[in-house]
Amino acid sequence: MFRLRLHPVFSTPLRLSRRTVLYGALVLLALVSVPLIVASSRWLHASRIDLTTDQLYTLTPGTLHIVDTLKRPLRLTLYFSDHATRDLPQLRSYEQRVREMLQEMVARSHGHVRLQIIDPVPYSDDEASAEGSGLTAANGGSNGERVFFGLSGSAMSGGADSDVADDRVPEKTLAIPFFDPAREAFLEYDIAKLLYELNQTSKPPIGVISSLPIDGNPVLSEQPWTVMQQLNQLFDVRTVDPATLRHVDDNMQVLLLIHPRRLSPDAQYAIDQYVLRGGHLVVFVDPDAELDSAPYNPDSTTYPDHGSDLPRLFAAWGVRYDPHKIVLDRARALQIELAGSSLNHPAMLDLGPQELNRNDVVTASLQRINVSTVGYFDLAADARTRLIPLLQSSAEAELVPTQQVLDASNDPTTLLQDYKADNAHYVLAARLRGVFESAFPARAGEPGHLVHSAPNAEVILVADTDLLSDRLWVEPQTILGQTMMRVFANNGDFVTNLVDNLSGSSALLSIRGRSTSQRPFTRVQALRNVADQKFLQKERELEQELADTRRRLDELQPAKGSHGSTATAEQRREIEQFRQRQLAINKELRDVQHQLNAEIDALGLRVKVINIVLVPALVVLIGLLYGWRRSRHSRQRR
């Protein structure tokens, strides 16, 4: 009798089933995850976290407000010469920074802003388009190619909900000619300002009150000053008559008060309340306005009386200003031609980058501003405001009476006689910020009267009016039969930047300079500083020993007549000892340098070991520990 035995073989089919299920799950996961990733990158806004120390990739509230309130669709084109900058890593790194900030703004705009990135290769239509958009090319690219790195923006017709069609004709086009890495701290401000200006449908209105002939004289065929011609191109400039001024319109985004003389109390009160309501005021005063053609004032103690002041308002704002003092500066004296000879005029100043505030958006990119017979500002002891200098003198400046400068008009070199520098940097132009008190407390009962301003009110103060005149920054020249203005200073840019900055929205004004993305190697710099101190100490030791040796040799000289051979032997020993010591100190200097290099190399080696060996080893170790724990857990479950 035969028996049939059936051996169970469930273990092998069960193992194969698990493997099959696992592979099937992986395939299913891939089929689901890949379309999901593609769909999310196309339609979903990615959430990002800015972990940088200075929040470099986080837009400020002012920028967010500007982007969120766009009224029209905008099209941005970033031109960057990718091929021409292949040997310029610093510029390529900055381009990535600019591109990422633009992409952040585009993502925030919910489709209202479109961004296009173009590489304008030489002799292409893109290069012509970049030049036509107002971009400036820089030299120094690979193989001598020109480098374009700027932004062109266009405002398209239609509302904010309209699509930015490529075939639509732009209503307005503006540009950032070149992204200078030196202005990285103001990158967000520059881009936000471009968006804000593109969003505007009309020129911002500004008012001008002046006792100087800034608008020229059509009867005498005198043209307006060049600075006024520039302002008229960018703004809706409205002349305000101080004789009839009783109220400054709140729609006036900026009010320029140039050389105020004998303003009526009503006009001063109107300006006072305009500032307290949050209006933007720029005041130009001058101890001696050289283009003031006003006749002699019998009540004046000086002749002629071409000074201006705003004593009542300045006192209420906590500002000290003396219209009878002029700042001389022999270190920044401007070279002029007088009576056929060239001389340096200490009352006419050529202010360079050291005298301009590099941390303020108005003056950060300026290189030269010329002023003449300029005054200065200071704060009173009880001031509730603070001065933020825009222009200042060097430490070689000196204060002199205005009359002394007037008396030296025929020979300015006499101002340098008995010159004594005050060793102080005098503030020539500044932002005045803080709480402004009304200069008219007696009018508290009038309707709408304000006692004080908001905490962050601001007024711009400039202690010179001559910087507005053409003679200090432009000169006419004839080219091909046409008269053009040659610019030799940044006076016009300074005034335009002031008005441009103040005429923006409060959101734009709230965007300040930020930190740069360039992070220095502070540890290496500290090592270099220590080594420099060691070098300086050794150099001083060497110089001291050299002086001692020379003094010793001089002492041996008188003995040469009677004991020539002995003296000569002593001199030789001194010289030999000095040479040996000099060689020893030079060796010590080289040892310090070698030690510095060794410490830097050791630091670099440690960083490389951490990045290349330690971190990957830790990742592998964590992975092995995790795998061991899982396998152990699986065995325990079985």
- Write down the pLDDT at residue 10: 46
Let me know whether 140 and 269 are in one domain: no
- Number of structural domains (the chain) is 3
- Write down the pLDDT at residue 141: 81
Task: Assess whether pLDDT exceeds 60 at residue 34.
Answer: yes
Task: pLDDT band for 638, please (50, 70, 90 cuts).
Answer: low
Let me know whether 146 and 190 are in one domain: yes
- Residue 586, number of CB atoms within 10 A of its CB: 12
133: domain CATH number?
Answer: 3.40.30
Q: Mean pLDDT throughout 602-629?
A: 78
Q: Mean pLDDT throughout 287-305?
A: 71
**Helix, coil or strand: residue 219:** helix
Domain that holds residue 537: 522-612
Integer-rounded Cα Rg, in Å, for the chain is: 36
Residue 400 lies in a domain: no
Residue 248 lies in a domain: yes
Q: Mean pLDDT throughout 47-53?
A: 59
Q: Which residue has the higher pLDDT, 294 or 309?
A: 309
Q: Mean pLDDT throughout 282-291?
A: 95
Residue 148 lies in a domain: yes
Q: Mean pLDDT throughout 362-387?
A: 94
Q: Mean pLDDT throughout 175-189?
A: 87
Residue 32 lies in a domain: no
Q: Mean pLDDT throughout 172-201?
A: 88
Task: pLDDT band for 565, please (50, 70, 90 cuts).
Answer: very low
- Write down the pLDDT at residue 300: 54
Task: pLDDT band for 423, please (50, 70, 90 cuts).
Answer: very high
Task: Assess whether pLDDT exceeds 80 at residue 201.
Answer: yes
Q: Which of 85-89, 468-472, 548-552 has the highest mean pLDDT?
A: 468-472
Q: What CA–CA distance (Å, rounded) separates 149 from 176?
A: 9
Let me know whether 244 and 161 are in one domain: no
**E strand segments, 38-146:** 74-80, 113-118
At 349, which amino acid appears? L
Determine whether 509 is exposed, middle or buried from the number of CB atoms within 10 Å of its CB (0-12, 13-18, 19+): middle
pLDDT-above-70 percentage for the chain: 76
> Could you tell me which residues come within 8 angstroms of residue 225 by beta carbon, excluding any fewer than 6 positions away?
214, 215, 216, 468, 469, 470
- The structure tokens 């004032």 sit at 297
* CA 257 to each of CA 159, 240, 388: distance values in angstroms, whole numbers, following the listed order: 37, 10, 19
Q: Mean pLDDT throughout 565-580?
A: 67
Let me know whether 427 and 455 are in one domain: yes
Residue 337 lies in a domain: no
- Write down the pLDDT at residue 271: 97
Beta bridge partners of residue 258, listed in sequence order: 210, 284
Q: Which residue has the higher pLDDT, 468 or 296?
A: 468
φ, ψ of residue 354 in degrees (nearest 5): -70, -25
Tokens of residue 258, six digits:
């140039």
Let me know whether 387 and 243 are in one domain: yes
Let me know whether 172 and 286 are in one domain: no
Residue 92 lies in a domain: yes
Task: pLDDT band for 40, please (50, 70, 90 cuts).
Answer: low
Let me know whether 144 and 221 are in one domain: no
Last residue of a domain, one of 153, 169, 199: 199
Tens of pLDDT along 314-332?
999 999 999 999 999 999 9
Task: Assess whether pLDDT exceeds 70 at residue 480.
Answer: no
Determine whether 244 is exposed, middle or buried from the number of CB atoms within 10 Å of its CB (0-12, 13-18, 19+): exposed
- Write down the pLDDT at residue 469: 95
Let me know whether 146 and 68 are in one domain: yes
Q: Mean pLDDT throughout 548-554?
A: 63
**DSSP tag of 557:** G
Q: Which of 51-55, 359-363, 548-552 has the highest mean pLDDT?
A: 359-363
Let me know whether 275 and 381 are in one domain: yes
- Write down the pLDDT at residue 465: 97
Last residue of a domain, one of 509, 539, 556: 509
Residue 629 lies in a domain: no
Q: Which long-range contacts (CB under 8 A, 24 or more apart) does 445-449 make?
A: 448/273, 449/273
Dihedral sign, Cα of residue 547, residue 549, residue 550, residue 555: positive
Let me know whether 543 and 488 are in one domain: no
- Write down the pLDDT at residue 30: 76
Task: Assess whether pLDDT exceeds 90 at residue 312.
Answer: yes
Tens of pLDDT along 376-392?
999 999 999 999 999 99
Let me know whether 109 and 192 are in one domain: yes
Segment among 130-144, 361-375, 386-400 with least mean pLDDT: 130-144
Q: Mean pLDDT throughout 147-170?
A: 73
Residue 169 lies in a domain: yes
Task: Assess whether pLDDT exceeds 50 at residue 560.
Answer: no
Task: Assess whether pLDDT exceeds 80 at residue 259.
Answer: yes
Mean pLDDT, the chain, integer: 82
Let me know whether 215 and 278 are in one domain: yes
